[in-house]
C-alpha cells in the first residue's frame, strides 16, 4: 500500500547521508521532497502542511544541530511525526464492565464492512471472547447471506431473523433498528460477551444513511462505533470521515484493503483530521488477514525500517510449541538436520501466512521489492511434493540420492530434475549452517553471533566428537541404527557399594581408576 511513499522517503533520506551538519537549505530541500511524497500518496493537504511544518521546525532546532548524526536524527523526527498523525498510541477495544460489549460497524457500501465483521469476530474469538454477529444490513442484496457465510467460516454464530433483500430490484421491508435490538437481547440470553452489529451502507453519503445509522446507535448504545473505510479511497477519505463523525460520532477507524496497490493516503489523513484513532487494519482477502493497528509499527514500515515485532507475534501465534521444543532439543543434542526437519520448518513458516508479507516486514525490504514481487508462493508446495516423493531413508541420508533416484523423485513430484538438484543444494547449505551453529561456531556471515553450543560449556566435550556417517546401504544402516538404540537403552554398569543397597564384596575399586593405595581406605 505504501510502497510509493516508502520509496520516495527512503530516497530523500539517502541524500542526507555523509553530511556532518545540515544547513537550512538542506532541511528545506528535504522537507520539500517529503511534502511531494505525501501529496503524491493522496494525503490530505491540511495534514501535509501540519506535518511538514513540524518536521521543519524540529529539524532546524538544536535537536538536530547537536546530534552526532544529523541524517539519522531527521529520520527519527519524521518517524515520530508519522506516529503522531497515525494516532500516537495503539488503541484497543474498550470492553464493557457489564457484558456484552456492543460494537457497531458503519461506513460506505463497498468499504468491506460485512467481510470485516467476520474478520473481527474471528480475531475476538482468538482472544478468548464469545462474539455474536448481528445482520442488520437488510438493504444490500444478499448482505445477510454473506454475513452468515463469513460467520460460518469464522466459527461464530450469526443472528439473522430477517433474510434481507436478494436482488437490487427488491424493496427492503425489515426494520434494522429492531433487528439490532433483538440481536442484543439474543446475546444477553445466550451469554455472548461481544456483539458485532453489521449495518447498511450506501454508494455515497446521504441523509437516509445517516439517520438509520444514528437510530441504530441510539437504540443499542454501543461501546464502540467503528468507521470502516477503504484505504484506497484517496483524498475523499477526509470528507467521508468527517461526515460520518458528525452523523454517528464514531469512536475508532478500521482501514480495509491495505494490501492494495493504491497510494494509501487515507491512513495518514483520517486519524489526524477526525481525532479518532485507527484501531484495526485489514490486509487481505482471508479472514486471518486482520491485525491490530500499531501506529509506531506502521510508521516503521513506511520508512522501510521493518516490523519485526509483528513478525514475532505471528510466529508465537502460529508456531507449534511442541515442534519448536523438539527441534530445539535436536539442535542441542547435535543430531543431524534431516529433510523431514526441513519440511517441518517450511510448513511452520507457511502457517504464519504469506511469505511475501513476512519478508516485506524485514528492515530494508524495499531494496529487494522487485524480487519479492516475483516470488512464487507455491514454491513451498513444490518443496513439500519433492520431499514427500523421497523414501524415508533418502530423507535421512540425502547423500545416497544419485542420478536415477533424482529422476524418480522429479517424476513423482511433477517437477524437473533441476528443481530437485536445487532443493538438495539448498538443503545441504542449511544443514551445514545448522551443524556449525550447534557446535558453537556462530551463524555463517554473522560474526560475533554464537550458536547454542557456544553458550553451554557442558557440551564442549561433544563439540569435538565427530559423528560416524550412516551407511548408504539401507539394510546396513537399519542394522547400525538398531545396534545404537540397543546400546543406548542398555543399563549402565554401576558400582554396587553400600550406597546402592548391595554388598561391598561385589565392588571393584579398580573400576573407578582411583589413586594408588586408595583401595585400602575402602577396605579392599
469 annotated ligand binder: no
20-24: long-range pairs with CB below 8 Å, 24+: 20/70, 21/65, 21/70, 22/59, 22/64, 22/70, 22/71, 22/74, 24/60
Q: What is the DSSP letter of 254?
A: E
The residue ranges of DSSP E strands in 341-416, in sequence order, are none
Instruction: Give 258-286 as a 3 state SS string.
Output: CCCCCCCHHHHHHHHHHCCCEEEEECCCC
Sheet holding 131-135, edge to edge: 158-159, 131-135, 194-198, 101-107, 224-230, 252-256, 278-282, 290-292
Q: 88: alpha, beta or left, given left = phi > 0 and alpha = psi -120 to 50? A: left
Contact between 284 and 252 under an 8 Å Cβ cutoff? The reply is: no
CA angle 352, 443, 421 (to 5 degrees): 70
201 annotated ligand binder: yes
251 annotated ligand binder: no
Instruction: Give the Cβ contact number of residue 155 at 10 Å.
Output: 10
Nearest residue to 181 (alpha-carbon basis) of 102, 118, 95, 97: 102
258 annotated ligand binder: yes
209 annotated ligand binder: no
Instruction: Give the Cβ contact number of residue 487 at 10 Å.
Output: 8
40 annotated ligand binder: no
7 annotated ligand binder: no
* Residue 29 to residue 35: CA distance in whole angstroms: 10
110 annotated ligand binder: yes
Q: Facing residues of 198 across strands? A: 105, 135
464 annotated ligand binder: no
403 annotated ligand binder: no
107 annotated ligand binder: yes
137 annotated ligand binder: no
* Residue 427 to residue 98: CA distance in whole angstroms: 55
* Residue 278 to residue 288: CA distance in whole angstroms: 19
Nearest residue to 323 (alpha-carbon basis) of 343, 304, 353: 343
Q: Which helix (H) or strand (E) holds 83?
A: helix 70-85
202 annotated ligand binder: yes
Contact between 105 and 244 under an 8 Å Cβ cutoff? The reply is: no
112 annotated ligand binder: yes
247 annotated ligand binder: no
114 annotated ligand binder: yes
257 annotated ligand binder: yes
Q: Which parts are annotated binding residues for GTP?
A: 107-114, 198-202, 256-259
Q: Which parts are annotated binding residues?
A: 107-114, 198-202, 256-259
Amino acid at each position: 500500500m505504501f510502497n510509493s511513499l516508502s520509496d520516495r522517503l527512503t530516497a530523500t533520506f539517502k541524500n542526507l547521508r555523509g553530511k556532518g551538519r545540515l544547513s537550512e537549505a538542506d532541511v528545506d530541500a528535504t522537507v520539500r521532497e517529503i511534502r511531494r511524497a505525501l501529496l503524491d500518496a493522496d494525503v490530505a493537504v491540511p495534514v501535509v502542511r501540519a506535518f511538514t511544518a513540524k518536521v521543519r521546525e524540529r529539524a532546524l532546532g538544536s535537536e538536530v544541530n547537536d546530534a552526532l548524526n544529523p541524517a539519522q536524527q531527521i529520520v527519527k523526527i519524521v518517524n515520530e511525526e508519522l506516529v503522531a498523525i497515525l494516532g500516537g498510541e495503539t488503541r484497543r477495544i474498550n470492553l464493557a464492565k457489564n457484558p456484552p460489549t456492543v460494537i457497531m460497524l458503519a461506513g460506505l457500501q463497498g468499504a468491506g464492512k460485512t467481510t470485516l465483521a467476520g474478520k473481527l469476530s474471528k480475531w475476538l474469538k482468538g482472544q478468548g471472547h464469545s462474539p455474536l454477529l448481528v445482520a442488520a444490513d437488510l438493504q444490500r442484496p444478499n448482505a445477510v447471506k454473506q454475513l452468515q457465510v463469513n460467520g460460518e467460516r469464522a466459527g461464530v454464530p450469526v443472528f439473522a431473523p430477517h433474510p434481507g433483500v436478494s436482488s437490487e430490484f427488491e424493496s427492503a421491508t425489515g426494520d434494522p433498528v429492531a433487528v439490532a435490538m433483538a440481536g442484543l437481547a439474543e446475546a444477553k440470553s445466550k451469554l455472548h460477551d461481544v456483539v458485532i452489529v453489521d449495518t447498511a451502507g450506501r454508494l455515497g453519503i446521504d441523509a437516509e444513511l445517516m439517520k438509520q445509522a444514528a437510530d441504530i446507535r441510539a437504540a443499542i448504545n454501543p461501546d464502540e462505533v467503528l468507521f470502516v473505510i477503504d484505504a484506497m479511497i484517496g483524498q475523499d477519505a477526509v470528507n467521508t470521515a468527517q461526515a460520518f463523525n458528525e452523523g454517528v460520532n464514531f469512536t475508532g477507524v478500521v482501514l480495509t484493503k491495505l494490501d492494495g496497490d493504491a497510494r494509501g493516503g487515507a491512513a495518514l489523513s483520517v486519524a489526524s483530521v477526525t481525532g479518532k484513532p485507527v484501531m484495526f487494519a485489514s490486509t487481505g482477502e482471508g479472514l486471518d488477514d486482520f491485525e491490530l493497528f500499531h501506529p509506531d509499527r506502521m510508521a516503521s514500515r513506511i520508512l522501510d525500517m521493518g516490523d519485526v515485532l509483528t513478525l514475532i507475534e505471528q510466529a508465537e501465534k502460529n508456531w507449534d510449541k511442541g515442534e519448536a521444543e523438539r527441534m530445539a532439543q535436536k539442535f542441542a543434542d547435535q543430531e543431524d538436520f534431516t529433510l523431514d526437519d526441513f519440511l517441518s520448518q517450511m510448513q511452520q513458516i507457511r502457517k504464519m501466512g504469506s511469505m511475501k508479507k513476512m519478508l516485506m516486514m524485514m528492515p530494508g525490504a524495499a531494496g529487494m521489492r522487485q524480487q519479492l514481487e516475483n516470488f512464487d508462493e507455491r514454491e513451498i508446495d513444490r518443496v513439500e511434493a519433492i520431499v514427500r516423493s523421497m523414501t524415508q531413508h533418502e530423507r535421512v541420508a540425502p547423500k545416497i540420492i544419485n542420478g536415477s533416484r533424482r529422476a524418480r523423485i522429479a517424476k513423482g513430484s511433477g517437477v524437473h530434475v533441476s528443481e530437485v538438484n536445487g532443493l538438495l543444494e539448498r538443503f545441504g547449505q542449511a544443514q551445514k549452517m545448522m551443524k556449525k551453529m550447534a557446535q558453537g561456531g556462530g551463524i555463517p556471515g554473522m560474526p560475533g553471533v554464537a550458536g547454542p553450543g557456544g553458550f553451554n560449556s557442558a557440551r564442549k566435550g561433544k563439540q569435538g566428537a565427530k559423528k560416524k556417517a550412516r551407511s548408504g546401504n539401507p539394510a546396513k544402516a537399519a542394522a547400525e541404527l538398531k545396534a545404537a538404540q540397543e546400546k543406548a537403552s542398555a543399563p549402565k554398569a554401576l558400582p554396587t557399594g553400600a550406597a546402592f543397597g548391595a554388598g561391598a564384596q561385589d565392588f571393584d575399586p579398580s573400576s573407578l581408576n582411583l589413586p594408588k593405595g586408595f583401595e585400602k581406605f575402602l577396605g579392599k
